A and B are shown apart, each in its own frame.
Chain A
Amino acid sequence: MTDATRPGRPAYMPPPQRFDPELEQTILVTKAEWLIDWCRKSSIWPLGFGLACCAIEMISTAMTRFDLSRFGAEVFRATPRQADVMIVAGTVTHKMAARVRRLWDQMSSPKWVIAMGACTVGGGPYFKYGYHIVKGVDKIVPVDIYLPGCPPRPEALIEAIMRLQELMHARGYLLNGKDPGYTPPEKGSRQAVKDGLSPADPWTTEQARKHDDKKRAAEEEQARKKAEAAKKKAEDAARKKAAEEQAAAEEKAAEEKAAEAKPAAEEKAAPAEEPETGKPVEPPAEPPREEPE
């Protein structure tokens, strides 16, 4: 559902219902769901959680000059258990990744994540090719709002908070903060490169090639071992079969010998039984019909 007055954006307020103008001054008629969402989006409690330089901008946003409290989001909490929104402000390293994930796990649902700055969006302008960088915080936690910039201006963070408020209304209380159309970002962007959906990056390609080579080598090794084992098994089976066949052949030969000896004995006894089936029994001759006189 989109708002007609602001195309492309989700409507977060139900269309006004016309009542008696005097009544409208004092009474607001709406859905409970809408009211809960309105409360929720008007009192966002972010997690006070900064990782790098973006945190300075986040602090600045909360202070008097930019005054985030105008949008109801000024109560930065020092514990994840009291927070709604995690603003991941700064570079996420592999050492920090587990902590970020744990903080997110400790937040009570419904919860939202804003990836603030280039580092959390996709690894960053400086460190992306570093050995210690998580290339985008969406590899660890689901992200609702991506906020690019290095670092983003406080106005940009305010914009992100306002978009998040719209999102909170669009998704709604009954959906428990989850967008029904939301699917977590695909991990296999290498696949995207392969499919030609995103341009190939030389470094990425190189790493992917190394990774694939390693994997292929391991697979080949495994296949070789498997084939060897199968071959050995087949050889064993063939040997066993050959031995069995030989045994069977010997047995058969012995049986044939015995059988040859037996018919000879039977033949001798056979002629005595012969006469019974000798000549066909002739039907008794019909007495000639007497001609009627």
Chain B
Amino acid sequence: MSERWPPAAALEEALPDAVEEVSEEGPHKFVRVRADQIVKAARILRESCGVDMLHQVSGVDYEDRFEVVYHFARVKSDPGFVCLKVSVPRDNPVVPTLAHDWATANWGERETWDLVGIRFEGHPHPYRIMLPEDWEGHPLRKDYEFPTDYHGIDCTE
């Protein structure tokens, strides 16, 4: 390998303990970092790799764990994507929030909480964004049980 992928190299240099996995194979490269270091990692990306936008925050249910996937983008010069992943245990899915550094994380994290049920610690408004406030459960979890009745409306048909 002639050259490292710059974001991975930068993260490994700055946070050697936090980087759990680096995948430089294929078109979709990513760096997996420790959950408690995600804020620092995102800051390093911004400072050293010119990343200036958080495209999306999404949650994945792998049955044995949850994953939060962040897609950062560099739009001003040399456009490109950087993907960060974070694994959290299923029984206590908590990740520090990025909403204070990246404004787009606010709604993305609320959506992830709404649909997958991953909590973001320190979020300024940690409530459901799309489903009704009194909804029970997080529908994109693999073990989600469909409601049979919502406010007297039969859902089993």
Contact = CB atoms under 8 A, between A and B. Distances in A.
Q: Which of A98, A140, A190, A211 has the most CB of B within 10 A?
A: A211
Interface in B84-123: none
B150 A211 contact: no
Say which size band chain A's interface belongs to: 20 to 34
Nearest to B132: A95
Contacts of A140: 153
A205 B146 CA distance: 13
Contacts of B75: none
Contact of A211 (B135, B148, B151, B153): B148
Contacts, number: 43
B143 to A, nearest CB: 13
A123 B154 CA distance: 12
A123 B156 CA distance: 11
A123 B148 contact: no
A214 B147 CA distance: 12
B1 interface: no
Nearest to A207: B156
Interface residues of B, number: 17
Contact of B157 (A95, A123, A214): A123
Q: Which of B130, B145, B146, B151 has the most CB of A within 10 A?
A: B146
Given A94-B132, A207-B148, A190 B153 contact: no
Interface stretch (A15-23, A127-135, A224-232, A281-289): A127-135
Nearest to A215: B148
A187 interface: yes
Nearest to A134: B153
Interface in B116-144: 130-132, 135, 139, 144
19 contacts: A94-B132, A94-B135, A94-B153, A95-B130, A95-B131, A95-B132, A97-B153, A131-B139, A131-B147, A139-B154, A187-B154, A189-B157, A190-B156, A204-B156, A204-B157, A207-B148, A207-B155, A210-B148, A211-B148
Interface of B: 130-132, 135, 139, 144-148, 150-151, 153-157
Interface of A: 94-95, 97-98, 123, 131-132, 134-136, 139-140, 187, 189-190, 204, 207-208, 210-211, 214
